[in-house]
Structure 1
């Protein structure tokens, strides 16, 4: 982290953490879409010697050559690992997508990492950065992740490092903006004819030395005389910020008394403050140009990672229990302890099959070991046990990925990451533990997917492959949820947003060879009677031999919401024999399930059997079931059948600036606001009840309305009558659909 020059050594994949967990650094790159995370990973890999000067790995690819979908979209859509070696450390760089739809990949990266480089682009408008960047910052803060901020794209016209630093202090500093301060100041070259001033170096605020990259090699020199005053001002603020975070209370007294504090003391205090996530230094970096070996600021970033970021030894282990729920004490990051590891990401390779990215928290994972694989679906009543989720599995090959290559490893020690093939049916979030001693790591939370995508197989050939392909998608991505809706019969894939659905469909097509059609998502509606009515069902047929004879008279009256179907027997005198009373009820309930006016299930009515007729020979169970159904249909003809729609209770969390727009939008969706609550960070939680027919795309619309800052959750509340004009419009639409017009 100091401003020292040194030689770099090593190449990706060669480091095996031979010095144990202390030599490992797991770093996740976080930031908004377009901030330059993947470019920064490549620049760091070049400086570390993992790429040649042309920015290529040995097979001619680049570190971003991971997924055909990513290359086609020119956007990261999944978590990827790039290991490099720097000063005797194995640095695992975890590149995450910046788009909000792929927050599941971000959370997986946070689980696998011990610190974060938070990347922001100076080329984007501050307001555009604020929404998505603030959400990503809060994701890091929620897990106590140490962070440093990297400002990119400073070689773009009309960009300001000072302005972006102020924006970061306002967005990320909270009550203490001095917790976000620059560690280096950028040095720019002369402005070119295109208005761009290329970044040529950095000035270290602690050492007050210029690190000059203009020649393609990193050299040091003193700052120009006209830069000393602003440099000293920025340095004083940084020193005060470091001292304020220091655990040594004598430093502030010494500083205020005019005493000098050694650079080494300041660096040590800075490193400790960064490691405990109380101070977030701001740096800048730019990729190498014109065949240079180093990009501007990349040496400083790698030094920060290896010296200022915590090792896995300093990270508390997630809670570990036995499958029965009993707590289990596990040594923190001990390579000699029993194995405790977790699958943080699964993906499919066309040649290898399923590949799992595994973080080893304790013990050592070796190729060909037999381990126990257990998933949390076994303990969740809503998700029944799935194959291979409670079984001993022999581990396949261990590899370290780099671009399109997979470099073999003999073992993966505590604190490190590796890709594992042939791990049975392991899924994201599964725990690996010793065979014969199964354990479970407390799972990390995943957001609930709120955008429904109803699908059906495109053709007969796709039907057999559809369920397998969808199951594999859900196994790889916990932010997807598959639902077979019992009311509508639709197969629904719940996703995080439109980009998420597009990628899901593309993966089904390209990876599993399944063509699907997206169809309109149907909301489960209900019917009920608007008033009391009566009906008579007569089923009489004579056709040689035994005939069919059954007559029943019923009364139907509406009940309060949620009452369901209630059947009452008030027959006197035996006009309907006792053995056929249940037959009438079966017929009534079967017809109610099929619906009456619009084909949606009938609910919240009491059906009373009043009278009927039977025949000693021709009456039967089937005849009275038919009569019961006919009686209910005749009763429906005598009154208005009301259509009920599901109402969801939603909680919307938005910045105060968007409260008015969100509440107006909810009113336009026939929503009722039932309360608001002030939250921290100048935000408001809005509680409302909204018909589910109006919020099918709310996950997308809210994001657009609030510039990516709004979030919501939903839960079913009840069914309520749909306005008559809307119900009539829906009936007409369904009738036209049924007739093909």
Structure 2
């Protein structure tokens, strides 16, 4: 990094051809939407020779040309893999969406990678660095994933490189801001006609060399005395930061004693600290100008990736068990070991069918191989557990829409697998004789409901299969068939996530749906004691129908359900018809008595009735029981009960006040707060579910993208009458 004559101490023996784990680097690009991740991916591919100067592969598909939906959305909506070769190493660049709605794709990228590049735009406000990006940084820190920071858009900077570096150090460095320091400083040219000052090169702080990109190709120049004086302070701080992370404890004493530390030792300690995830260098990058061969900073980034980031051999692989949960020995990243691979993404191609992006953690996956597919503990989201044997189709290395056929994928590498009909995102592929299951990675809970219905009869016939394929691709989406409201509900992460789901249903699977108002599961109960009489008497020739019953209804405490009591005396209702009355009453209670919502929390007492020796029947007394309950409801105030959710919200301290005020406006009751790490607070509250239908969107806006929450059902409680009157038309009578 900065001087190719010096190598990482652990680099000895590393492969120089991409045919073994030690020659692979799996890197995920993370950053806020609009930070320039896809542009940076293209720039790295251009410098590595994977693209021509027009930014295209041989078949004409650009790197960003992954999905027609992405072009309409004008943002990346899915994880994309771009493999490139650089000086004998294979680098798998995993470009992730920056928008919060597609965090599932980001989590998949983190699972497949061994290191992360956090892309920060100087063209955005510094606040863009915080929020969701900080949360991902903390996730990486928790598992010790190596990280580096790349500053983009310096040509349209709202924030200077030095200032943005300090912002990153304060946010990402935590208690040790000196663990986040620049390796290079941008070199600026003369201001252009528009007032922008172009970045023409980089100054290497360790080598003190100038890397000039103004000609379109990287040229190494010697610094003049004036430039050396300008970088001295930043260079000294960098050296101190590297020495602080060195495994040689005597190095700091020698440095403070005035000894000059040789460059090879500094670079070696730097690369070791980066690979361990204890030091996070900051670099600058920009795409190549028109006709240029190399983008600014791309060579330096590729050197960092190949020499500082770990090989797949170094991180601890995920835990594996048998599909039944029995413990198994830890796996190793060994091409000759037992096959253990994971589906990190599932997509559909109109011509090829289902395509699975797979990371191989152990063994070697070969084309046409028979494998065991195990999955995966997300039955509540429409992903049923399964253990099946399937035959692997063709193996390919993706690049945009281009697929390059390959014969095998060894441990540590990634590739696309065709025709795995049952495999879904998160599933494990292993040998059929020794099935294994990998520990799943955490997925966010979708909290924005989208109620849908088929647009036409033809769409209704295709809806079930279309939804099944949709949720198979996206484990962050949950499919619910709500029996209480009789709605099909797709639970999504946000509005953009929902829009993409609807577009994929229409474009990929030919299913057009209508979005309908989402209903919560309301219930009804009696507000006071009441009585009712059910009379079902019909004589129309032949066998008639005769049943009369009288009941008393009284409300019970919340959660009591329906209690039926028989107090008939003297055989007014024959014993064999008492269960019939109860059956009719319970059936009517399930249908509701006023607005079509289930009746709960009442005691219904059968007190009297009449029967006919010939015309009475089970069906007649069921009808009489239902009529009696409806008459009792007509003479009593009926109260609507609404579901109340227990909500836990994690938000930055600066937004606690606005969040609590917003909860109050939603009829919420704050029941407690608890301090969390990173100047954040947990807020616990009880809120009616009807008030948080869109809370996934509203909280994101309220907290500038930094808040997150979870919810679970607590209980049903009476709804205020004015609210019940307001929603009466929306819910309607569905009896």
TM (normalized to structure 1)?
0.96
CA RMSD between the two structures: 1.8
SS of match in other structure, 1:452: strand
Aligned position for 2:523: 526
Q: Name whichever of 263-272 and 715-724 sits farther off.
A: 263-272
Measure how far apart 1:73 and its partner are. Answer: 2.2
Measure how far apart 1:229 and its partner are. Answer: 2.7
1:351 paired with 2:351, answer: yes
Q: Name whichever of 95-104 and 528-537 sits farther off.
A: 528-537
Aligned position for 2:12: none
Mapping 1:701-716, distance limit 5 Å? 701-716=698-713
- Superposed CA deviations along residues 584-605 of structure 1, whole A, max 9, x for unmatched, are 1100100000101111110111
1:561 paired with 2:532, answer: no
- Superposed CA deviations along residues 225-256 of structure 1, whole A, max 9, x for unmatched, are 22323311111111111111112111111111
Residues 308 and 65 (structure 1), Cα distance of their counterparts in 2 relative to 1, 3 Å cut: same
1:90 paired with 2:90, answer: yes
- Equivalent-residue separation in structure 2 for 1:45 and 1:503 (angstroms): 28
Measure how far apart 1:222 and its partner are. Answer: 2.2
Aligned position for 1:39: 39
Q: In the alignment, is the contact (CA less than 8 A) between 1:17 and 1:413 conserved in 2?
A: no
SS of match in other structure, 1:105: helix
- Equivalent-residue separation in structure 2 for 1:447 and 1:157 (angstroms): 33
Q: In the alignment, is the contact (CA less than 8 A) between 1:185 and 1:202 conserved in 2?
A: yes
Aligned position for 1:621: 618
Aligned position for 1:23: 23
- Equivalent-residue separation in structure 2 for 1:502 and 1:33 (angstroms): 17
Measure how far apart 1:435 and its partner are. Answer: 1.1
Q: 1:671 aligns with which of 668, 671, 678?
A: 668
Residues 383 and 32 (structure 1), Cα distance of their counterparts in 2 relative to 1, 3 Å cut: closer
Measure how far apart 1:383 and its partner are. Answer: 6.9
Aligned position for 2:136: 136
Mapping 1:92-171, distance limit 5 Å? 92-171=92-171
Mapping 1:494-509, distance limit 5 Å? 494-509=491-506
Aligned position for 1:12: none
- Superposed CA deviations along residues 432-483 of structure 1, whole A, max 9, x for unmatched, are 0001221100110100000000111111111111111111110000000000
Mapping 1:456-475, distance limit 5 Å? 456-475=453-472
TM (normalized to structure 2)?
0.97
Q: In the alignment, is the contact (CA less than 8 A) between 2:382 and 2:478 conserved in 1?
A: no
Q: In the alignment, is the contact (CA less than 8 A) between 1:16 and 1:409 conserved in 2?
A: no
Q: In the alignment, is the contact (CA less than 8 A) between 2:129 and 2:168 conserved in 1?
A: no
Measure how far apart 1:129 and its partner are. Answer: 3.3
Q: In the alignment, is the contact (CA less than 8 A) between 2:569 and 2:608 conserved in 1?
A: yes
- Superposed CA deviations along residues 692-732 of structure 1, whole A, max 9, x for unmatched, are 11111110011011110011110001111000111122225
Q: Name whichever of 311-320 and 545-554 sits farther off.
A: 545-554
- Superposed CA deviations along residues 207-226 of structure 1, whole A, max 9, x for unmatched, are 11111111122111222322
Aligned position for 1:9: none
Aligned position for 2:336: 336
- Equivalent-residue separation in structure 2 for 1:171 and 1:331 (angstroms): 35
- Equivalent-residue separation in structure 1 for 2:149 and 2:158 (angstroms): 20
Measure how far apart 1:496 and its partner are. Answer: 0.3
Aligned position for 1:697: 694
Aligned position for 2:215: 215
- Equivalent-residue separation in structure 2 for 1:731 and 1:16 (angstroms): 71
Residues 733 and 317 (structure 1), Cα distance of their counterparts in 2 relative to 1, 3 Å cut: closer
Aligned position for 2:545: 548
Aligned position for 1:264: 264
SS of match in other structure, 1:546: coil
Q: In the alignment, is the contact (CA less than 8 A) between 1:548 and 1:623 conserved in 2?
A: yes
1:492 paired with 2:489, answer: yes
Aligned position for 1:183: 183
- Superposed CA deviations along residues 534-559 of structure 1, whole A, max 9, x for unmatched, are 21111111122221111111111111
- Equivalent-residue separation in structure 2 for 1:242 and 1:636 (angstroms): 78
SS of match in other structure, 2:426: coil
Residues 355 and 236 (structure 1), Cα distance of their counterparts in 2 relative to 1, 3 Å cut: same
Aligned position for 1:661: 658
Measure how far apart 1:74 and its partner are. Answer: 2.2
Aligned position for 2:606: 609
Q: In the alignment, is the contact (CA less than 8 A) between 2:322 and 2:436 conserved in 1?
A: yes
Residues 302 and 98 (structure 1), Cα distance of their counterparts in 2 relative to 1, 3 Å cut: same
SS of match in other structure, 1:351: coil
SS of match in other structure, 1:689: strand
- Equivalent-residue separation in structure 1 for 2:112 and 2:604 (angstroms): 58
Aligned position for 1:637: 634
Aligned position for 2:291: 291
Mapping 1:236-255, distance limit 5 Å? 236-255=236-255
SS of match in other structure, 1:141: helix
- Equivalent-residue separation in structure 2 for 1:243 and 1:115 (angstroms): 22
1:365 paired with 2:365, answer: yes
- Superposed CA deviations along residues 403-442 of structure 1, whole A, max 9, x for unmatched, are 2210000100000000000112210001000012211001
Measure how far apart 1:382 and its partner are. Answer: 4.5
- Equivalent-residue separation in structure 1 for 2:419 and 2:712 (angstroms): 39
SS of match in other structure, 1:573: coil
- Equivalent-residue separation in structure 2 for 1:511 and 1:214 (angstroms): 45
Q: In the alignment, is the contact (CA less than 8 A) between 1:5 and 1:218 conserved in 2?
A: no
- Equivalent-residue separation in structure 1 for 2:398 and 2:219 (angstroms): 33
Structure 2, gaps ≥5 residues long:
7-14
Q: 2:477 aligns with which of 475, 480, 486?
A: 480
- Equivalent-residue separation in structure 2 for 1:280 and 1:80 (angstroms): 24
Measure how far apart 1:381 and its partner are. Answer: 6.6
Provide the aligned length of Structure 1 versus Structure 2.
Answer: 727
Measure how far apart 1:738 and its partner are. Answer: 8.7
Aligned position for 1:391: 388
Measure how far apart 1:683 and its partner are. Answer: 0.6
- Equivalent-residue separation in structure 1 for 2:466 and 2:585 (angstroms): 40
Q: In the alignment, is the contact (CA less than 8 A) between 1:24 and 1:415 conserved in 2?
A: yes
Aligned position for 2:728: 731
SS of match in other structure, 1:314: coil
Q: In the alignment, is the contact (CA less than 8 A) between 1:575 and 1:614 conserved in 2?
A: yes
Aligned position for 2:77: 77
Measure how far apart 1:494 and its partner are. Answer: 0.4
SS of match in other structure, 1:203: strand
Measure how far apart 1:27 and its partner are. Answer: 0.3
- Equivalent-residue separation in structure 1 for 2:57 and 2:391 (angstroms): 31
Mapping 1:200-211, distance limit 5 Å? 200-211=200-211
Q: In the alignment, is the contact (CA less than 8 A) between 1:152 and 1:286 conserved in 2?
A: yes
Aligned position for 1:11: none
- Equivalent-residue separation in structure 2 for 1:546 and 1:59 (angstroms): 80
- Equivalent-residue separation in structure 2 for 1:161 and 1:184 (angstroms): 10
Q: In the alignment, is the contact (CA less than 8 A) between 2:382 and 2:468 conserved in 1?
A: no
Measure how far apart 1:268 and its partner are. Answer: 1.3
SS of match in other structure, 1:512: coil
Q: In the alignment, is the contact (CA less than 8 A) between 1:43 and 1:298 conserved in 2?
A: yes
- Equivalent-residue separation in structure 1 for 2:174 and 2:219 (angstroms): 37
Measure how far apart 1:18 and its partner are. Answer: 4.6
Q: In the alignment, is the contact (CA less than 8 A) between 2:18 and 2:24 conserved in 1?
A: no
Residues 660 and 520 (structure 1), Cα distance of their counterparts in 2 relative to 1, 3 Å cut: same
SS of match in other structure, 2:155: coil
- Equivalent-residue separation in structure 2 for 1:677 and 1:363 (angstroms): 46
- Equivalent-residue separation in structure 1 for 2:731 and 2:360 (angstroms): 55
Aligned position for 2:10: none
- Superposed CA deviations along residues 253-288 of structure 1, whole A, max 9, x for unmatched, are 111111111111111111111112111100010111
Q: In the alignment, is the contact (CA less than 8 A) between 1:119 and 1:149 conserved in 2?
A: yes
Measure how far apart 1:76 and its partner are. Answer: 0.5
Residues 493 and 283 (structure 1), Cα distance of their counterparts in 2 relative to 1, 3 Å cut: same
